[in-house]
Amino acid sequence: MDTNLLWIVLLPFLGFLINGLLGRKLGHKTVSVIACLLPVLSFVVSYAAWSRLVDGANALHWNGFPWIWLEGTLEVPFALHFDGLAAVMCLVITGVGSVIHLYSIGYMKGDPGYHRYFSYLNLFTAFMLLLVLADNLLLMFIGWEGVGLCSYLLIGFWYEDDANCAAGKKAFIVNRIGDLAFLIGMFVCLQHFGSLDISMLTSAEEITRVSAETLTFPWGAASVVTTIAVLLFIGATGKSAQIPLFVWLPDAMAGPTPVSALIHAATMVTSGVYLCCRLMPLFEASPAAMGLIAAVGACTALLAAFIAFTQNDIKKVLAYSTISQLGYMFFAVGMGAFSAALFHLVTHAFFKALLFLGSGSVIHAMHHEQDMRKMGGLRNRLPFTHITFLIGTLAIAGVPPLAGFFSKDEILFAGFQQGFLNAVGSAQLFWLISFLTAGMTAFYMIRCVAMTFWGESHVEESLERNVHEPGGWIGFALFVLAIASALGGFLNVPEFLGGHASLGHFTGLHHSTSDLSVDQLRSLHVSEWQSMLLSVLIAGSGLMLGIHCYGKGRDLRTSFNDSSAGKALGRLSASKFYVDEIYDRIFVRPFETLSHLLFILIDRIIIDGILVNGLALLTRSTGNVFRRIQTGYIPGYLLTFGCGVLVLIFILLNFLREGGAQ
């Protein structure tokens, strides 16, 4: 029983309440102090809890109170659980989160919705922490939908623009599609595990018991575990922007840039990966689901990287890059390398937050210009931003020894191991895809740097004079995250490089190699070296190619245009594979048309027109017919009256007799 856990969630929530209720009356300064101090305090509490785990304490637990509680049938408590995995997530959320809160002080200065912004951001932090600390899936679902709500509110933060609101709505709805699968997944869990407690869903005996059971669908039978894993994974594709539900994330860039950094890069979008790691034993028990996850992850990584090639909006490049990197994480999950997935989640939080905040610094300096074609040469004006952005770029590209190098290498090796050492055919293909994507990542990121910071300036002259380094909290945040992106990889140095894979061991996701013999271990290490060499090579060539293409200010599309195939590919990339348009044609518009049709056809014409008002018409016209009976001829009335009385008396007598008999 550890009530401190509650404070981790409660502190940012308090910030939300204070700023939400009183923010209008407090000055900007007070609002910022409250909004930033409370996540920092939450970080401190998380740190204290973490250090207790490091000292060897068991997982901490807060029993909470009964929530959805049908005694003896369905008992879901409001309880929190803090283990290694939750600890790492809490530290990332509150750590990176606090830095982004501080950055926002500079970025949002003077915005009329200042207090509203910070209260949403605090609320988001609280929900995100609830998501990772929840000890059962249903409680996690509060956080899961709660972060979605905050994302909705923050994407549409500048509500006066219709496009922003539409983007926010799209994010919520697309996420809800995934959430339906999540809900149904929970139903299946309840039915077969009889509980939603994570400890139950991950216990080996329970999983063995349940794996024996199968479900029959119209299209064939599937094991219960696979069904649950696939349903929960569909939920994850919504939140973590994977095929087929990734379409909301690029639009989500309509929100303020720090929001993109915190919610749409570092934390919220990784919750799908967190869910998989949280339920590792469950997912591992279903090879079919793992195969699906790997395939979706690898394909998403490739597709998004390919789209990122031709984007000209600096935030869109980063958005597709995020989708691509999330694909990497799922690929790792599918390969069974949960520890690598979590590791990449952490390093990605560092360097992608850094990249987004760097782009925010550029956008801020450029007075909300996001088109890279109107930038260029900014490194003279924004030297600090340039350096930090470059660090982020090299980190994501996988240049040693920056953070992304270690984590991406671990993922690629996991694919390599599955595909070639364990000789799984499909894994070879997925490995190849991810391997190529690594090169593509390096390429489009260096393109982004080149178009923004290098070469000739395309900035309008009137603007250019005012472009200057933002400094203050913005600079501070960039500095902190640049250091984290540079050194973050050392959290989990693999054993063959003399490290201890500390992160993997701490979170309990690492698969132990201690049962291998010395020879096996040596040959494993040899292939780890080979894989690493390959990934450095591909990252290097991606970078070189990028510098070659864009270093001299050339646009790739001009070189693509030389061949018709290249032209078609270029157009496909620039138009984002028409996914939005396809969804619009297949789902959105037919549904709206159908609703209109049904409204007119069923409600207006059939029910109201024919049945209701038709019946009224019928009554009126029969009335007209029977009106003729009312002749005014008294003996006729009397006769009818008499007959009626006789019938009534008969009925009444009958009624009373039967009633009396009982």
Partner 1 sequence: MIPEFDSFNLPILSLIVLTPALVALVLCLVDRNNRALIRQLALMGSFLTLLFSLLMVANFDSNLGTMQLEEQHSWIESLGISYHLGVDGISILLVLLTCFTMPFVFLSTWAAIGDRVKEFHIALLLLQTGMVGAFVSLDLILFYLYYEAMLIPMYLIIGIWGGKERIYAALKFFIFTMVGSLLMFLGILYLYNHAGTFDLPVLMERLRTTHPLGSDQQLWLFLAFTLSFAIKVPLFPLHTWLPDAHVQAPTAGSVVLAGVLLKMGTYGLLRFAIPLFPEAAFDLQSMMAWLAIIGIVFGACMALVQNDIKKLIAYSSVSHLGFVVLACFIPNLEALTGAILQMVNHGLSTGMLFLMIGIIYERRHTRELADYGGICKVVPIFTIFFLLAVLSSIGLPGLNGFVGEFLLLYGVFSSVPLWGCLATTGVLLGALYMLNMVKKFLFGPLVHEENHHIEDLNTRELIYLIPFVVMMVWLGLYPAPFIKMVQPTLTLYVEMLQN
Binding site for partner 1 (CB under 8 A): 20, 65-71, 73-74, 78, 138, 141-142, 144-146, 149, 152, 156, 159-162, 165-166, 169, 172-173, 176-177, 179-180, 183-184, 186-187, 190-191, 591-592, 594-596, 598-599, 602-603, 607-608, 612, 655, 658-659, 662
Determine contact, residues 49/38, Cβ cutoff 8 Å.
no
Closer CB to partner 1, residue 213 or residue 371?
213
- Shortest Å, Cβ 141 to partner 1: 5
Taking the least distance from each CB to partner 1, the nearer of 238 and 542 is 238
Shortest Cβ 112–partner 1 spacing (Å): 9
Nearer to partner 1, 160 or 519 (CB): 160
CB 446: neighbour CB atoms within 10 A? 25
Find the shortest distance in angstroms from Cβ 252 to partner 1: 15
Q: Which SS3 state, helix, strand or coil, does residue 61 take?
A: strand
Host H or E run for residue 64: strand 60-70
CB of 625 to partner 1, least distance (A): 20
* Smallest distance from partner 1 to CB 293, Å: 22
Q: Minimum Å distance from CB 29 to partner 1?
A: 21
Shortest Å distance, C-beta 597 to partner 1: 9
Taking the C-alpha atoms of residue 27 and residue 39, their distance in angstroms, rounded to an integer, is 19
Smallest separation, CB 472 to partner 1 (Å): 29
Candidates 521, 347, 321; CA nearest to 440 is: 321
Nearer to partner 1, 124 or 338 (CB): 124
Q: Which residues contact 429 (CB under 8 A, 6 or more apart)?
A: 298, 419
**Residue ranges of the alpha helices (H) in 309-424?**
314-334, 338-365, 383-397, 403-416
Tokens of 576: 């984002």
List CB contacts of 287: < 8 A, sequence separation 6 or more.
none
Q: What is the CA radius of gyration of the chain?
A: 31
Please state the closest distance from residue 250 (CB atom) to partner 1, in A. Answer: 19
* CA proximity to 357, closest of 32, 92, 104, 158: 104
Residue among 189 and 342 whose Cβ is closer to partner 1: 189
Nearer to partner 1, 146 or 540 (CB): 146
Compute the least distance from the CB of residue 177 to partner 1, in Å: 6
Q: Three-state DSSP class for 317?
A: helix
Q: Which two three-digit tokens encode residue 643? A: 């007959």
CB-nearer residue toward partner 1: 552 or 596: 596
Do residues 168 and 155 make contact, with C-beta atoms less than 8 angstroms apart?
yes
CA 15 to chain centre: 24
Angle, CA of 537, 540 and 541, to the nearest 5°: 85
Q: What span, in angstroms and rounded, lies between the C-alpha atoms of 190 and 529?
A: 45
Q: Which phi-psi region, left, alpha or beta, contains residue 455 (left: φ > 0; alpha: ψ -120 to 50)?
A: left
List, in order, residues 6 or more apart from 493 with CB less than 8 Å away: 406, 499, 500, 501, 502
Least gap, CB of 619 to partner 1 (angstroms): 10
CB closer to partner 1 out of 256 and 358: 256
Q: Looking at beta carbons only, is 245 or 484 nearer to partner 1?
A: 245
C-alpha 117/C-alpha 19 separation (Å) is 9
Nearer to partner 1, 502 or 595 (CB): 595
Q: How far is CA 34 from CA 13, 18, 124, 167, 309, in A?
A: 11, 8, 15, 29, 41
Which CB atom, from 78 or from 82, has the smaller least distance to partner 1? Answer: 78
